[in-house]
Structure 1
Amino acid sequence: HLELPDTNAPEMVEQQLQFLGLIALIDPPRAEAEAAVRDCISAGITPVMITGDHPATARAIAQRLGIVTNTQAEVLTGRDLATLDDAALLLRVSQVQVYARVDPAQKIRIVEALQAQGEIVAMTGDGVNDAPALKRADIGVAMGRGGTDVAREAASMVLLDDNFATIVAAVREGRRIYDNIRKFVRYAMTGNSGEIWTLFLAPLVFLPIPLLPIHILWVNLVTDGLPGLALATEPAERGVMQRPPRAHTESLFANGMWQHILGFGLLIAGLCLGVQAWALSTGHAHWQTMVFTVLTLSQMAHVMAIRSERESLWQLGLGSNKPLLGAVLLTFVLQMATIYVPALNPIFKTQPLSLGELGICLGAAATVGVAVELEKAWRRNRAQTVPAAP
């Protein structure tokens, strides 16, 4: 018959004991966390672990996740951190990726030191002691399930599933959205500049005004409408998470975008005016309809070609963005309707084109797509020959 002792004094209780076994507990990282850390590193994002665990435990978990690569990686403890002034911490913070046994004030110091190095800092946390650092970081990410109300209020974003991999997925989606915004601006401004240059340059080269107001309204409606909106559904480009983050000071028009807008706007205008001059010189009475058609279809060729800044359209696949392909085909059908449906001719002031005239329009429009592909090929070749910055 066994009875519990009536005292809690260790010297009285811990006698005549027999060792039966040892229980060890571990809180393993999630299975997807290692892949998420790997994606962060390939995307130019440096993961840093700040934990209250023992330094040896922190190092082991960081090595398992891939945050550090060896068992001798430096772990900066809260005690060591307290001995460093701000200048010394500034020198160490870029080399240290694991911190252990730190207090809330020290977390803020780490965040501020990284920001002083010019880094954009995202901080994750779930406890009350994380709230000050969440607030101080450029973006605070709180845990929605296990996080405290204080942490959620201090954060800029709340994870509903408490999963670090969700942050990486959000980065990927953010890059896709930003890329698509650039593509839309590139497409819309190139097309509009083409229209402006066409109307502006025609009198300067002694040509009649090539387009009527109804033509401009129609082009803006069918080109800036569905095709432009469909660019928002463009999937993320291959390698989107294998490129470094862009600088927060980088302009939307960086990486040759404004040169593209100007150059291809002039190319579209040049094609329109070239077709107009040819039609007038050869006695084709339908020159205005031809200019109208070239302007519309050249923008369709342009929008299909700029779906990627590097990859060719054939690598992407014509059907990889079905909404955009459908919008382009619909625009083509509507443009043909303005030319070949008799009831629409007096409305749009158009005349049916012969097969040869239509072929010239299609060839001129296709030139824009070919030129964009040549530009992308030049970019790919340049990226392969120019050495990466150290």
Structure 2
Amino acid sequence: QFLLSSNLSEVLSIFVATILSFTILKPVHLLWINLITDCFPALALGLEKSEKDIMERKPRSPKDGIFSGGLGVDVLYQGVLVTVITLAAYFIGHYMEAGVWEIANSADGMTMAFLTMSMAEIFHSFNLRSQRKSILHMKHHNIFLIGGMALSLILTTAVIYIPGVNTAFGFEHISIPEYLVALGLAFLIIPVVEVVKFFQRKFGKN
């Protein structure tokens, strides 16, 4: 679910930007996100402890597809959500740079979009410690996921600010306010998914 929703957001972001004739991310940016941002959290999620009630649940039907149990809907809305957040970061970044709302190629916008998508996917990995349960009520911690998040954040920040490296990636040296705005937008993925999970638990089938 994590990898499918993350990759869907990348495809949709590029698709929308292409339709509107601007560059939101370059191929090397997508390569970085897939190898660095997605890799460590995905491996850490594979080490997540089993939920306590897992043996009390009914077994899955052998006729169920991979997207059964609401997985397809989850992947779709979460992928769209990260796309919307990433597009918002691009246009806000351009506005903070140029002082005007417009559809145009923007180095600041692209840098903020990269940072936002990277961190949104990292934050989203915490959502997916459980498909339906709130992460606020999970008593145990996944230290591997926390470590993966920290490592991804450090590496992503480094590629934006280290001279020479940022030039190779086509990034702009964004200001601290821009950096914080990008992180704030990325963090939105957690409360939004928490709200959706609440309604899924309340109205969904067991």
Q: In 2, Cα distance between the equivalents of 1:350 and 1:227?
A: 24
Structure 2 residue 140 is matched with structure 1 residue 311: no
Pick aligned residue for 1:353 from 160, 165, 174? 174
Q: In 2, Cα distance between the equivalents of 1:267 and 1:381?
A: 21
Is the CA contact (8 Å cut-off) linking 1:207 and 1:277 kept in structure 2?
no
Structure 2 residue 108 is matched with structure 1 residue 286: yes
The 5 A counterparts of 1:181-196 are 186-196=1-11
The 5 A counterparts of 1:305-384 are 305-317=127-139, 320-383=141-204
Is the CA contact (8 Å cut-off) linking 1:339 and 1:352 kept in structure 2?
yes
Report % sequence identity: 29
CA-CA distance at 1:207 after TM superposition? 4.8
Match for residue 22 of structure 2? 208
Q: In 2, Cα distance between the equivalents of 1:376 and 1:266?
A: 16
Greater gyration radius:
1
Pick aligned residue for 2:43 from 216, 225, 229? 229
Q: In 2, Cα distance between the equivalents of 1:189 and 1:221?
A: 14
Higher strand content, 1 or 2: 1
The one-letter code matched in structure 2 to 1:313 is I
- Runs of 4+ aligned structure 1 residues displaced above 6 Å come to none
Note the alpha carbon deviations across 1:55-89, whole angstroms, 9 max, x for none. xxxxxxxxxxxxxxxxxxxxxxxxxxxxxxxxxxx
The one-letter code matched in structure 1 to 2:193 is V
User: Which segments of 5 or more consecutive residues in structure 1 lack a partner in the other structure?
Assistant: 1-185
Note the alpha carbon deviations across 1:351-377, whole angstroms, 9 max, x for none. 222121112111111111212111211
Higher helix content, 1 or 2: 2
Q: In 1, Cα distance between the equivalents of 2:132 and 2:74?
A: 13
Is the CA contact (8 Å cut-off) linking 2:123 and 2:187 kept in structure 1?
yes
Q: In 2, Cα distance between the equivalents of 1:280 and 1:326?
A: 32
Q: In 2, Cα distance between the equivalents of 1:369 and 1:324?
A: 15
Q: In 2, Cα distance between the equivalents of 1:321 and 1:230?
A: 8
Q: In 2, Cα distance between the equivalents of 1:264 and 1:336?
A: 24
Q: In 1, Cα distance between the equivalents of 2:74 and 2:32?
A: 24
SS of the aligned residue for 2:10 comes to helix
SS of the aligned residue for 1:320 comes to coil
Q: Which has the higher contact order (CA 8 A, sep 6+)?
A: 2
The 1:281/1:207 distance shift into structure 2, 3 A limit, reads: farther
Is the CA contact (8 Å cut-off) linking 1:290 and 1:361 kept in structure 2?
yes
Q: In 1, Cα distance between the equivalents of 2:56 and 2:149?
A: 31
Structure 2 residue 67 is matched with structure 1 residue 250: no
The number of residue pairs the alignment matches comes to: 198
Is the CA contact (8 Å cut-off) linking 1:293 and 1:361 kept in structure 2?
yes
The 5 A counterparts of 1:50-129 are none
Structure 2 residue 98 is matched with structure 1 residue 277: no
User: Which segments of 5 or more consecutive residues in structure 2 lack a partner in the other structure?
Assistant: 100-106
Structure 2 residue 14 is matched with structure 1 residue 199: yes
Note the alpha carbon deviations across 1:12-46, whole angstroms, 9 max, x for none. xxxxxxxxxxxxxxxxxxxxxxxxxxxxxxxxxxx
TM-score (norm 2): 0.89
Is the CA contact (8 Å cut-off) linking 2:28 and 2:169 kept in structure 1?
yes
SS of the aligned residue for 1:241 comes to helix
